Structure 1
Amino acid sequence: MENKEYIASGILELYVYGLLSEAENEEITNRAKNDPEILTEIVAIEKSIIALSSSFSPFNSVGNFERIKEKLELNPSPKVIELEPTRNISQYLGWAAAILLLMGIGFMYNQLNVSSTQVVNVETEKTKIEKELNTLMLENKAIESTLAVIRDANNTVVALGGQAVAPESFAKVYWNKETQKVYIDASGLPEPPKGMVYQVWSLKLNPLTPTSIGLLDNFVANNQRIFSVDPTGDAEAFGITLEPDGGSLSPTMEQLYTLGKV
């Protein structure tokens, strides 16, 4: 089998995810040692998975998660200052005790204000941390959902190569023919110019019939560059073009960035 067909089969993704048998793993390992193109593709898949795992939430490590839990368990209490009882030994000592009492009350009042401010600050910080935790949980669920799609052995992986307008570009399609769900890994596409959007096309080849299956909206905000598009059940190829905001009824062939046959 030629390298192009071997890579497009999706077996290298299964190798990286650890879903192959020992014999298949050994075969790919030996092939990678003797074939730089195979080795380069394996490294690219590993980098894509690392970026997918790490860039979703790069500032939230396990250590940070534990520290957040500790902060949520804080329960500060105002500092109580115990005053020693005064002794009425003489008139002068009584005045001195009264002065000390007033000073103590003033100090206690000041400490109470400080403690109250600290409690308010802690409550504010707690609310902020709870929001961050909720966001983190949602992001983790999104990552798990995406990884489940990528690791699905029923997916057909279609590699899309760069075309004349951007030969260095590339992308991948994860297509489950049974459920017809389609996911696009657009990590190899450059950021689209302002006022433009990438549009994904499902293609029939004879005769050539393109059908739009979605736009890669919010490209900059999507750090992982993994997009879900409309389902399709009869694609023979996939292509991605650069179109004006809102998309086009037919692909602009001069702006064809990537193309790949199933």
Structure 2
Amino acid sequence: MNIKAYIESGTLELYVAGALSEKESQEVYNLTVKHPELLEEALKIEATIVKLTAATAPIDSQSLFNNILSQISTNNNVRPLNQTKKHWFTYVSWAASIVFAAGLLWFANQNIQLKEQLRIADTDKELLETQIENSRNSLTEAKALISVLRDKDIITVPLDGQAISPEAYAKVYWDVKGNNIVLDVQGLPDPPKGKVYQVWSLTLNPLTPTSLGVIENFTTDENKLFTIANTNASEAFGITLEPDGGSESPTLEQLYTLGAVATTP
């Protein structure tokens, strides 16, 4: 068998490109097993196709075809084109196979991008649903506050700014029957890092403070409205700035607001 003539015939290129019939492919396979030179040449052709496919840009068909022609004419591992009709058909078939393979890569990439877009859309949907739910919660809170404000048994206690922050203010809406207060702290500045506001119920004679807890999420709460349990016989309310976790007794130097419960005449 003339190995050189067989290599130059273009049959190996068609074999690698998958353009032969099943019977012809089996014949070529048997020859590559029998003749190592043919196997080596087939592997070189396959490596060249992989290189060409990786180098092409599938979304630009003209650039793709020009790139393929350039690679075929300059790559040492590819046999030069003869002027015969048979060899022209061989290389056109090979080039078409490369275009097809590159197109598959492009479609695969488009599929990946589509999946990513769908994932982003799902994320946006979840975010929108969360925002809607938060809005519903805010609306529920607003309705609850309106209900509190309209209740004739609610005691309103304004808390005025003190020496450390004269411009500060807050307001307590005390539901005595429900044993809780709604605290509006829109007039307080954001606490510095490592500090929290702590709410106190006070009796005045003797002066006895009772902690109602700290406002942990002051900065993140947009409404600045907090419902706090209060079972005390409060005569006044105060808010101090304390270290994270709160204090056992109020730091008077950090007293931001204070207000007394109005006495009934």
- TM-score, normalised via structure 1 length: 0.57
Aligned to 1:245: 244
Ranges of 4+ aligned residues in structure 1 off by more than 3 Å: 90-97
Q: Which runs of 5+ in 1 are unaligned?
A: 1-89
State the Cα distance separating 1:180 from its structure 2 match. 1.9
Counterpart contact for 1:213–1:229, Cα < 8 Å: yes
CA distance, structure 2, for counterparts of residue 258 and residue 199 of structure 1: 11
Residue by residue, what CA displacement relative to the aligned partner does 1:210-235 show, whole Å, maximum 9, x if unpaired?
A: 21111111333333322232333532
Distance 1:171 1:127 in 2: 41
Does the 8 Å contact 1:197/1:246 carry over to 2? Answer: yes
The CA distance in 2 between the partners of 1:193 and 1:103, in whole Å, is 64
| Residues in 1 aligned to 2:174 and 2:223: alpha-carbon distance in whole angstroms | 18
CA distance in 2 between counterparts of 1:118 and 1:228 reads 47
Question: Which position in structure 2 is the counterpart of 1:133?
Answer: 128
Provide the C-alpha distance between the structure 1 equivalents of 2:107 and 2:190, rounded to a whole number of angstroms. 55
Offset, 1:245? 2.3
Alignment of 1:37-48 (within 5 A): none
Distance 2:233 2:227 in 1: 17
Question: C-alpha displacement at 1:150, in angstroms?
Answer: 1.8
Give RMSD over aligned pairs. 2.7
Equivalents in 2 of 1:250, 1:94: separation in Å? 94
2:176 maps to 1:177: yes
Q: Could you tell me how far apart the structure 1 residues matched to 2:243 and 2:101 are?
A: 69
Q: Distance in 1 between matches of 2:195 and 2:109?
A: 54
Alignment deviations for residues 53-74 of structure 1 (CA, whole Å, 9 cap, x no partner)? xxxxxxxxxxxxxxxxxxxxxx
**Contact 1:214–1:230 at 8 Å: present in 2 too?**
no
Residue 47 of structure 2 corresponds to: none
Distance 1:238 1:223 in 2: 23
Tell me which residue corresponds to 1:150: 145
User: Could you give the per-residue CA deviations for residues 102-149 of structure 1, whole angstroms, max 9, x where no partner exists?
Assistant: 255235313312321222212320332133134313422331232123
Aligned mates of 2:179, 2:139 — CA distance in 1: 20
Q: Aligned-pair distance for 1:239?
A: 0.9
